[in-house]
Structure 1
Amino acid sequence: MARNQLPRGPSQMRHVLDVLKPQRSDKFRESFRVSPCTFDKICTKLAPDPVFSNNSQNEQIPLADQLAVALYHFGHDGNGASMQAVADWAGLGKGTVHLITRRVMTAVLRPSFRESAVQFPTADEKELAKSWVEAHSCHAWRNGWCLVDGTLIPLYDRPHWYGESYFDRKSNYSLNVQVFIFIYFICNSVYLS
């Protein structure tokens, strides 16, 4: 049986990486949920991971493109997060989007990356954070040096296994994610730039 190929349009990803990244960081951030500086730092940290190299005659897509696809995928939900929607945006095939997302998650979940990305503060860093809290809020909160908050990440559909466990108070299927922010990072924009 003959294959029915889906014609691909021009890649919106190229426009975001090549035009918006250097000229309009606000629009770049809308697509990837990170600033261009943070994007470059993540690329640098992920570059040595062996998942992004192979011994094949066919080279992988550049790491920046792979990270762009994964971040775009993670930053959308519902129909906008479907493999086909991401593939159309990136000018790739659905299978390629799946492979790229797996590669990026494999690299991010390695202990070496996690240990370099998530570190608990030193005593001096805690003291600096406490001073910031006192200066920017009330004196009674002086001993606070971190923030904890949660958010719901909507899922496209009910998960097959234990799906009822994912049904939230807003009548959606979602994952509950808890975020821990060390205040020192808020004071020093180099980490969140």
Structure 2
Amino acid sequence: MQSSQLSLLDHFADHCPHLFLRCLCVWPENFDCILDQISSHLIFHSSSANHQLLVAIQFATFLFHAGHYGNVALPEDVAQWAGVSVGSVINFTNWVMVTILDEHDTFVNIPPHTLEDMERACTFTESWTCLAWRNRVFAADGSSIPLFEKPHIFGESFYDRKSRYSLNYQVYTPMHAKWNTYHS
């Protein structure tokens, strides 16, 4: 038995945006902006007699799935939340990821290396790491990825300040090699 929670999102967007954020991990305005960007992708258009669900439903299901972890992130539980099949949850996740990856250059904007903020970021990176990393760190904000459970090896070292087990990450890429690609 399934009962969709998707109908609550309209109410949350209009009257309780913090609840929308809790469900989908984005503000309603950001959801609409990204939805506008991805809706025209060919992956959401089918020539068969079986039409896909609205892109908004697919995107909301993907965000709920991607934004939760542990027992809530199981495809079965996401399917229950969205009122769709488990296969649909898996398809929506795959399709939305394809569209987001195809829109990479739209969603990711690397500022020019000549900006004062970029110089400060490079100086900061150099002071906390080494000279070789000065122009190579794309993101060093200490973002964390929550883990489902405590790792079996060195588990306590993954316990973070938010009282959960997580991994910190940063993206390493040679920034100076991409300037001409992104800002030509």
TM norm structure 2: 0.69
Determine the structure 2 residue equivalent to 1:114.
104
Whether 2:163 is the aligned partner of 1:170: answer: no
Determine the structure 2 residue equivalent to 1:185.
none
Please give the alpha-carbon distance, in whole angstroms, between the structure 2 residues aligned to 1:85 and 1:70.
13
CA deviations 1:160-180 (Å, max 9, x no partner) are xxx989x78327986653269
Q: Is the 8 A contact 1:150 1:179 kept in 2?
A: no
Distance 1:105 1:173, change over 3 A: farther
1:40 to 22, 32, 35: 32
Give, in angstroms, the shift of residue 153 of structure 1: 1.9
Distance 1:147 1:177, change over 3 A: closer
Distance 1:164 1:115, change over 3 A: farther
Aligned residues: 151
Distance 1:19 1:104, change over 3 A: same
1:15 to 8, 31, 50: 8
- State the Cα RMSD in Å: 3.2
Instruction: Indicate the percent of aligned positions where both proteins have the same amino acid.
Output: 32
Structure 2 regions of 5+ residues with no counterpart? 122-137, 173-184
Please give the alpha-carbon distance, in whole angstroms, between the structure 2 residues aligned to 1:28 and 1:179.
28
TM norm structure 1: 0.66
Give, in angstroms, the shift of residue 93 of structure 1: 1.1
Distance 1:69 1:117, change over 3 A: same
Q: Quick one: which amino acid aligns to residue 8 of structure 2?
A: H
CA deviations 1:117-145 (Å, max 9, x no partner) are 11221468x34x48xx9xxxxxxxxxxxx
Whether 2:52 is the aligned partner of 1:60: answer: yes
Give, in angstroms, the shift of residue 48 of structure 1: 1.8
Distance 1:149 1:179, change over 3 A: farther
Q: Quick one: which amino acid aligns to residue 37 of structure 2?
A: K
Please give the alpha-carbon distance, in whole angstroms, between the structure 2 residues aligned to 1:179 and 1:168.
24
Determine the structure 2 residue equivalent to 1:69.
61
